[in-house]
Amino acid sequence: MRSLARRRAHARLRARVRAVLAEVGVPRPWDLAEFCDRVAAHRGRPIHLVPTRLPAGAPDGAWLAGPTVDVIVYDADSPALRAEHIVCHELGHMLLGHTGTGLGPVITPDVPAALLHRMGVLHRTGYDDEHEHEAEVAASLIWKLAGRELVAPRRALPAAEAAVVDRFARVMERDPGVG
Ligand SMILES: [Zn+2]
């Protein structure tokens, strides 16, 4: 059965995400780089996107928070749509005031992937399920506001990209309290 409290919590979360996205502004037409710039301006610190080759078993993206810069790493092998989803998810964490995985003072935007691996920072152990769900909702709303959701017939998409769209659709359609 649905829980009224959970439905209300979900509605509050979506309102919260919409409010912060209204402040930041979602570019239309959609432009991920432009959106990153806007989020960075909103936070007052630069955001660097670093595609890299991630080890097996690692999450396919992470937000690494340095003292003065935020770094989003994502799997360089991800299809473009999937990579955008990963980045939007991590931006969602930022916009919702979550805390990134701390990097300490050593981070530079071009820190070699091998160093990242050695540092063991690629495992997003710091987030609880609630924050993960919140970031997913944020990512889906970013795309919805950008007019990107379900823009292409699913059958026309490569399987990997169709899976991303399906995942968005599930988040968007998720009925809190069910599943
Ligand atoms: Zn996350």
The torsion region of residue 44 among left (phi > 0), alpha (psi -120 to 50) and beta comes to: left
- Tell me how far the alpha carbon of residue 101 lies from the centroid of ligand 1, in angstroms: 10
Distance in Å, CA 90 to ligand 1 centroid: 6
* Distance between Cα 4 and ligand 1 center (Å): 26
The pTM score is 0.74
Side-by-side strand order, sheet with 70-75: 47-52, 70-75, 61-65, 101-102
Four-way CATH pick for 4-167: 3.40.50.720, 3.40.50.300, 1.10.10.2910, 1.10.940.10: 1.10.10.2910
pLDDT at 91: 94
Residues with CB under 5 A from ligand 1 (ion): 132, 135
Q: Is 159 exposed, middle or buried (0-12, 13-18, 19+ CB in 10 A)?
A: exposed
Q: Are 84 and 61 in contact (CB under 8 A)?
A: no
Cβ–Cβ under 8 Å, residues 168 and 85? yes
Domain boundaries, the chain: 4-167
CA of 27 to the centre of ligand 1 (A): 22
Q: How far is the CA of 64 from the centre of ligand 1 (A)?
A: 11
Ligand 1 midpoint to CA 88 (Å): 10
pLDDT of residue 131: 82
Query: Which pLDDT tens digits describe the chain residue by residue (179 residues)?
Result: 568 898 898 899 999 999 999 999 998 888 899 999 999 999 999 998 988 877 666 677 788 877 788 888 888 888 888 888 889 999 998 999 887 665 544 344 445 554 455 445 444 444 567 888 888 899 988 988 887 654 444 445 566 666 666 666 565 554 443 33
Count of CB atoms within 10 A of residue 25's CB?
Answer: 14
